[in-house]
Amino acid sequence: MNTPNDSSTGQAAPAPRAKRRWIIAAVLTVVAGVAGASFATGGQMLPGHHRHAEHMAMDPAAMDAHIDKFVEQLTDGASPDQKARVAAIAKAAVADLRPAHAQFHAAHAHAHELLMAPVIDRAALEQLRAAQMQQMDLISRRILLAVEDAADVLTPEQRARFAEHLKARMH
């Protein structure tokens, strides 16, 4: 087998790359879920969910404070420099994604118009769907870049604590 063995337990330890991929997948799942819920509802609150869409509508100063608080909670054991760098990465991603939120809101309104028309324009609906899928791909790429950049700032141990924190919040 190609995985290193832990001599104390005799079990194979997870490969560092596999653990990093799991952490990235966990973070992407959370971020994509928040973004998806926010975008899909056009800013409406889903039952049982927090008002994540309202976060994108915050003024930049309030959003920065929210990100700082979030980073502080999720980067236990990180140095002030690491926290500042992770916060800067998150703030840049949010700033880059803010126009996408407005575009999704406009697309939601357009879909509503198309669906309320006397005659359903299937071609227009398909064109809107395809455009939204392209937009989601761009959003996903931007989120992945932010997650990768943040993962590079933190140590493997800090990423493991972060993953445990996320796991506890998700269940």
- Residue pLDDT tens, the chain, 171 long: 444 444 445 555 555 665 555 555 555 554 444 444 444 444 443 334 344 455 556 788 888 889 888 888 878 788 999 999 999 999 999 999 999 988 988 999 999 999 999 999 999 999 999 999 999 999 999 999 999 999 999 999 888 888 887 788 776
Alpha-carbon gap, residue 36 to 139, rounded angstroms: 10
The token pair at 162 is 């972060």
The CA-CA-CA angle for residues 5, 6, 11, to 5°, reads 70
Token duo for residue 79: 């140095």
State the pLDDT at residue 32: 47
* pLDDT (0 to 100) of residue 48: 40
Q: What is the pLDDT of residue 102?
A: 87
Asked whether the whole model's pTM tops 0.75, one would answer no
Taking a C-beta distance cutoff of 8 angstroms, is the pair 100, 42 a contact? no
Note the pLDDT of residue 101: 87
